[in-house]
Chains A and B, each alone.
Chain A
């Protein structure tokens, strides 16, 4: 059928879909549904007992079921970044690329993956002080 061949040209490339999927993954794991329904502030405030000044508090403490907007976005960002790191690690295996690119992908991928994991561990320790105690 003649119309089908134009449909093939209309079809988006897998690479584009993969990028869109990663963007949506970022938004979902950042807790966007929680932000829309509960409308928390972007950052919280902690009143200093002595001076009375309000210090910004980025992580809603002691509760896993509450978050501030920025906190959620940063968490989701590092999840996606870790995934991108592993993707880079795989891109470095492509034999058709130049050696320079392969080395860069490998080093960058390793660095990003390890960084994301460590940052997320730090985040969860700030949020839940009783973690792994």
Chain B
């Protein structure tokens, strides 16, 4: 204590209570209890979201899964090693062999930057985590963040309880887990976080109506635009929301401020991504984004003018302006379309509006298994009880509509519609389902607990009346909705439902979504079989071929070959050049002599095929072969699908057509297979995927020779022979 007393003011208060007494005082206050409970719930939600995604890491090892993540991993290595400017201007000569690929301008860099920043931060804090591990664990880390943002979003939409339920549901919803397990280092890992954040900040901006909140939403939009091509979903959903608010009579100055700021700042920021560039203002996909901006300015200008002019003058002005604007708009659009400046919608997005478009016109989009439409079972598998709670959530949103819940309704309806068209978009619908269900569940719980808390007084008032007159009390019948037992039963049922939801989610994650598809694991315990053929083959390529060797394979495996095998490939998963892919498809579908000519043209040294007949691996090239024929036939009419089908049946047995049995793909897959006995009791050359014996058992290769076949025959690599000596 200072010896000099302060000249003015009372003595500062110093508490002499012990730590225990202070803690007890805080813990008995309801507000502190609530804060403690909320913090504990959120911490557990975060840990749950992180840990449930770790199955494949715990079972096998920390390895990157699938195909696309290998390219992202390679890009992140480039970014970390070479630096920002080298990555931004990177031209990759190791893929799409004669053409190369401008990676800097054709990639969404958000994911790579995120992983690189996490890596640098961990290096700075001297927690030296390997870059591969950072990449593997980026997705679970961001899944935890998404759960916390869902809490904030729920809080903004309704109240804190809804936020907590939303966070808990978002942590384990299987539709989101499927694309964000540890090891799935793909755009969606950070993009769903960016999506939910952008929507949360947008609803916050609309509720507050300030420029600062809208600028924050624009920065979240930048993160989304940098991460995933589905940023156009946000850029079309928000204008649609503005239009719906306008039409339903809820337009306000807050929406105007929020949207104008969001448009201006968001467009400028999104255009910084090289891949987007000026597309943001010229593309048809963003027409509504820009159009609604113009429309809002026109509306506000009209409102302003109306307050300044009289009614008659204003009427004349409106008429003149409408006619002039209509003429200018029509002429301008016509000029832009005719001069080709307005970029058309890309094929992928056309499919969302007309589901049969891809099947008819773009076989490469139709062939991707993720682009197939959804069946009813995917809903319950990916969402479990949320499919029941979501319509109820929609009802609650309609019952008491606020600006935020109308936005959620628009988001949910569009997301549910799109999820019905493409299985992959179930990922985008999952947050919508979670938020709707959170509103429904929280409303049920709140109404039930309210009934449980209040009628203690009401019961004592009515009970003497009831016991005296039996059933003829004030109302003719008992009101079972206010009885304690009913509400306890409702609470119990909700508890059971959420319990089954979480156990279903854990089971689904463990069984269906945690396979590191680079390694095939089957069986349990002592009967566990691990097929590591892919990595065996890619590392063979890496160590045993010339450094400038070119490898031709189907585009599915391009990223993996470049990342793990470190060799140049002809086509890879980016699929930006359909003709190049069709050339490879034509080579695979032609007979060996024709294919040899194409391979010499493309400078190919090795041909790689995936074959499942020995191991039973069903996603092999023979099963994908018809797509190769269709894509090749789409560009080169000499390849006709009917030549490969025997009576409309796709078969490689003895009933197969000669074109099929002489094609390069058949020869490369079944070379030397006719001598192998794969199943007890069947003949030689029994294909374990197709479940019959193959047609031609003695395969002769003239222009290639077998270089490598992996242990279970899954990957087969052939060396293309040089030209014969003429003399």
Name A's interface SS. Answer: helix
**B417 contacts A72, C-beta separation under 8 Å:** no
What mask results when residues 494 to 509 of chain B are scored 1 for a CB within 8 Å of chain A, else 0?
A: 0001000000100100
What is the distance, in angstroms, from A23's C-beta to the closest C-beta of chain B? 11
A75 in complex: contacting residue of B376, B395, B477, B511, CB < 8 Å: B376
**B355 contacts A75, C-beta separation under 8 Å:** no
What is the distance, in angstroms, from B449's C-beta to the closest C-beta of chain A? 12
Bound form: Cα–Cα A100–B359 in Å = 54
**B447 contacts A28, C-beta separation under 8 Å:** no
Residues of B near A21 (CB, < 8 A) are 391, 394, 398, 409, 413
What is the distance, in angstroms, from A63's C-beta to the closest C-beta of chain B? 9
B490 lies within 8 A of chain A by Cβ: yes
What is the distance, in angstroms, from B496's C-beta to the closest C-beta of chain A? 9
Query: Is the interface on chain B under 10, 10 to 19, 20 to 34, or 35 or more residues?
Result: 35 or more
Residues of B near A25 (CB, < 8 A) are 390-391, 394, 416
Name B's interface SS. Answer: helix
**A90 contacts B356, C-beta separation under 8 Å:** no
B373 in complex: contacting residue of A34, A79, A132, CB < 8 Å: A34
B395 in complex: contacting residue of A30, A72, A79, A90, CB < 8 Å: A90
**A36 contacts B388, C-beta separation under 8 Å:** no
What mask results when residues 88 to 123 of chain A are scored 1 for a CB within 8 Å of chain B, else 0?
A: 011011000001101100110010011011001001
Residues of B near A116 (CB, < 8 A) are 388
Bound form: Cα–Cα A31–B541 in Å = 44
What mask results when residues 54 to 95 of chain A are scored 1 for a CB within 8 Å of chain B, else 0?
A: 000000000011110001100110011011111101101100
B466 lies within 8 A of chain A by Cβ: no
**A34 contacts B374, C-beta separation under 8 Å:** yes
Bound form: Cα–Cα A77–B480 in Å = 29
Residues of A near B476 (CB, < 8 A) are 99-100
B388 in complex: contacting residue of A8, A37, A65, A117, CB < 8 Å: A117
Bound form: Cα–Cα A82–B380 in Å = 12
Which A-chain residue is minimally distant from B409 (CB atoms)? A21
Query: Is the interface on chain A under 10, 10 to 19, 20 to 34, or 35 or more residues?
Result: 35 or more
**B477 contacts A99, C-beta separation under 8 Å:** yes
- Choose among A79, A83, A116 the residue with the greatest number of B CB atoms under 10 Å from its CB: A83
A30 in complex: contacting residue of B376, B380, B391, B416, CB < 8 Å: B376
**B481 contacts A8, C-beta separation under 8 Å:** no
**B479 contacts A66, C-beta separation under 8 Å:** no
B385 in complex: contacting residue of A14, A31, A117, CB < 8 Å: A117
Residues of B near A86 (CB, < 8 A) are 388-389, 391-392, 395, 440, 444
Bound form: Cα–Cα A18–B398 in Å = 7
**B490 contacts A89, C-beta separation under 8 Å:** yes
**B504 contacts A132, C-beta separation under 8 Å:** yes
**A90 contacts B443, C-beta separation under 8 Å:** yes
B378 lies within 8 A of chain A by Cβ: yes
Tally inter-chain residue pairs, CB-CB below 8 A.
161
- Choose among A15, A22, A34, A124 the residue with the greatest number of B CB atoms under 10 Å from its CB: A34
A32 lies within 8 A of chain B by Cβ: yes
B377 lies within 8 A of chain A by Cβ: yes
**B378 contacts A80, C-beta separation under 8 Å:** no
B375 lies within 8 A of chain A by Cβ: yes
B691 lies within 8 A of chain A by Cβ: no
Bound form: Cα–Cα A128–B477 in Å = 46
Given contacts A14-B401, A37-B355, contact A65 B372 (CB under 8 A): yes
**A33 contacts B391, C-beta separation under 8 Å:** no
**A90 contacts B355, C-beta separation under 8 Å:** no
Residues of B near A99 (CB, < 8 A) are 475-479
What is the distance, in angstroms, from B505's C-beta to the closest C-beta of chain A? 12
Bound form: Cα–Cα A124–B413 in Å = 25
Which B-chain residue is minimally distant from A73 (CB atoms)? B376
**A93 contacts B380, C-beta separation under 8 Å:** no
**B388 contacts A93, C-beta separation under 8 Å:** no
What is the distance, in angstroms, from A33's C-beta to the closest C-beta of chain B? 4
Bound form: Cα–Cα A123–B286 in Å = 42
What is the distance, in angstroms, from A48's C-beta to the closest C-beta of chain B? 21
**B504 contacts A28, C-beta separation under 8 Å:** no
**B375 contacts A67, C-beta separation under 8 Å:** yes
**A31 contacts B391, C-beta separation under 8 Å:** no
B322 lies within 8 A of chain A by Cβ: no
Residues of B near A113 (CB, < 8 A) are 388, 493
Bound form: Cα–Cα A29–B375 in Å = 7
- Choose among B390, B392, B443, B447 the residue with the greatest number of A CB atoms under 10 Å from its CB: B392
What mask results when residues 424 to 446 of chain B are scored 1 for a CB within 8 Å of chain A, else 0?
A: 00000000000000001001100
Bound form: Cα–Cα A31–B379 in Å = 9
**A106 contacts B481, C-beta separation under 8 Å:** yes
B444 in complex: contacting residue of A4, A71, A89, A127, CB < 8 Å: A89
Residues of A near B391 (CB, < 8 A) are 21-22, 25, 79-80, 82-84, 86-87
B126 lies within 8 A of chain A by Cβ: no
B665 lies within 8 A of chain A by Cβ: no
Given contacts A72-B375, A79-B388, contact A124 B444 (CB under 8 A): no
B30 lies within 8 A of chain A by Cβ: no
Which A-chain residue is minimally distant from B479 (CB atoms)? A99
Which A-chain residue is minimally distant from B417 (CB atoms)? A28
Bound form: Cα–Cα A67–B420 in Å = 13
A-facing residues in B354-390 (Cβ within 8 Å): 355-356, 359, 369, 372-381, 385, 387-390
Which B-chain residue is minimally distant from A127 (CB atoms)? B377
B381 in complex: contacting residue of A32, A107, A124, CB < 8 Å: A124
B636 lies within 8 A of chain A by Cβ: no
Residues of A near B256 (CB, < 8 A) are none
Bound form: Cα–Cα A64–B380 in Å = 10
**B507 contacts A132, C-beta separation under 8 Å:** yes
Residues of B near A17 (CB, < 8 A) are 398
What mask results when residues 1 to 14 of chain A are scored 1 for a CB within 8 Å of chain B, else 0?
A: 00010011001001
Given contacts A33-B373, A65-B372, contact A79 B477 (CB under 8 A): no
A38 lies within 8 A of chain B by Cβ: yes
**B481 contacts A28, C-beta separation under 8 Å:** no
Given contacts A71-B376, A90-B396, A92-B481, contact A33 B444 (CB under 8 A): no
Given contacts A84-B391, A124-B377, contact A65 B385 (CB under 8 A): no
A8 in complex: contacting residue of B249, B355, B479, B504, CB < 8 Å: B249
What is the distance, in angstroms, from A61's C-beta to the closest C-beta of chain B? 11
B355 in complex: contacting residue of A14, A33, A110, A120, CB < 8 Å: A33
Residues of A near B593 (CB, < 8 A) are none
A-facing residues in B58-113 (Cβ within 8 Å): none
Interface residues of A (CB under 8 A from B): 4, 7-8, 11, 14-15, 17-18, 21-22, 24-25, 28-34, 36-38, 64-67, 71-72, 75-76, 79-80, 82-87, 89-90, 92-93, 99-100, 102-103, 106-107, 110, 113-114, 116-117, 120, 123-124, 127-128, 130, 132
Known: A31-B420, A107-B480. 5 other contacts (CB 8 A): A17-B398, A80-B391, A99-B479, A117-B388, A130-B511
Q: Lowest 9 A-B CB distances belong to which pairs?
A: A83-B391, A75-B376, A82-B388, A86-B392, A33-B373, A28-B420, A67-B375, A34-B373, A72-B376
Provide 19 A-B residue pairs closer than 8 Å at the C-beta atoms, listed in order of the A residue: A11-B248, A21-B398, A24-B413, A24-B417, A25-B416, A31-B373, A31-B375, A36-B356, A66-B375, A67-B375, A75-B376, A75-B379, A76-B376, A83-B390, A83-B391, A99-B475, A100-B476, A103-B479, A116-B388
Interface residues of B (CB under 8 A from A): 247-249, 355-356, 359, 369, 372-381, 385, 387-392, 394-396, 398-399, 401, 409, 413, 416-417, 419-421, 423, 440, 443-444, 447, 475-481, 486, 489-490, 493, 497, 504, 507, 511
